[in-house]
Structure 1
Amino acid sequence: MDYELIYKIINIGVLPAWLLLALAPHARVTTALVHSGIYPLAYGMLYTVLLVWAMVFGAGAEGGNMSTAAGVSVIFSHPHGVLLGWTHYLVFDLFIGVWIVRDGARQGMAHWKLVPILFLSLMFGPVGLMLYFLLRKISSSAGLSSSEG
């Protein structure tokens, strides 16, 4: 298995979804590809295949487990474990990005305010989510809407 190739494909594959969220959040193509759940379904299937491959067919590092930090380190010491973890991050970070766009629209936030937060969600998941909640709190406290700010 060419782990580097799979890593590159899953990274490149998720970028169109993030670009659509940032540049055309309500376009028909974004709704069809990103808001529909196709990405989490596709990446979830890849994750499931990788997980079954590791658990049933023994792909991965010997001695890895989820009950200790050392055991998790062992899992991530093998390229298969890295692919599993990275796919997990990509699915959930994108899910959060989609939620931010939808929630921001419901809150009446100007989309341009969300674009840097989307970037941070892509790169540093929890940081983007935290900043979105701060922006949401500040915006609701100040009574800002998309027409005001």
Structure 2
Amino acid sequence: MDIVGVSPEPIHTAFAFATFGPQPFWVLMVLLPKNEITKKIMGTMDVVIFFALVHFFIVSASIMQPDSTAPLLEFNDVFDPSKDSQAAFMNMVTNYPNFVAEEWPHVLTWDLFVGRWIWLDGLKRGIFTPHSVLFTNLIGPPGLLLHWITCLVTKKGFGSNEAPFDDDVDES
């Protein structure tokens, strides 16, 4: 059905692109982490921002589809500790066709963000990261845990990601 000029096909295409499009960038970070091409391409946030925009397109296009996004009250059930959140999530997956189309790219974009952070931390501090970056691509947060373990084993400590809270920071 074509609602407001947006049919489901662009959502399906964007979903496929959001799923497979990031893979070449993962390959660069895993197999060629120190290569100048990898540094040039992944050294900025451009790739992550691009896939965030793809995700935003999917969300925007999904909103225009009838009965494709879940009502907010049902979505809230996923986060209500007094309810069966797993059953609520499964309800979303089975009853709203674009829920997965939105959620999957959401997860993949965050994984790419974290994988890039791990890769940059490894370059900056001389830590081997291909295994951690690969695990982040394949299963998400365990890749970050693997990087943390690698940092501890190599006695390099976990990478700093702290804000500089001192008197020199402009708070305006």
TM-score (norm 1): 0.77
* Rg larger in structure: 2
Q: Deviations over 1:84-134 (max 9, x none)?
A: 11111111111111111111222222x3xx222211110111111111101
Q: Deviations over 1:4-54 (max 9, x none)?
A: 544332222111100111122243332332221122211111211222233
Aligned twin of 1:128: 143
Count of matched residue pairs:
139
Match of 2:76, SS state, is: coil
Q: Identical aligned pairs, as a percentage?
A: 19
Contact 1:66 1:72 in 2 (8 A): no
Q: Where does structure 2 lack aligned partners over 5 or more consecutive residues?
A: 1-7, 79-84, 158-172
Q: Where does structure 1 lack aligned partners over 5 or more consecutive residues?
A: 143-149
Aligned twin of 1:16: 24
Q: For the residues of structure 2 that align with 1:130 and 1:62, how far apart are their CA atoms?
A: 33
Aligned twin of 1:54: 62
**Aligned AA for 1:74?**
N
Aligned twin of 1:147: none
In the alignment, which of 76, 86, 108 is matched to residue 66 of structure 1? 76
Aligned twin of 1:145: none
Contact 1:47 1:87 in 2 (8 A): yes
Bigger Cα displacement from structure 2, 10-19 vs 35-44 = 35-44
TM-score (norm 2): 0.68
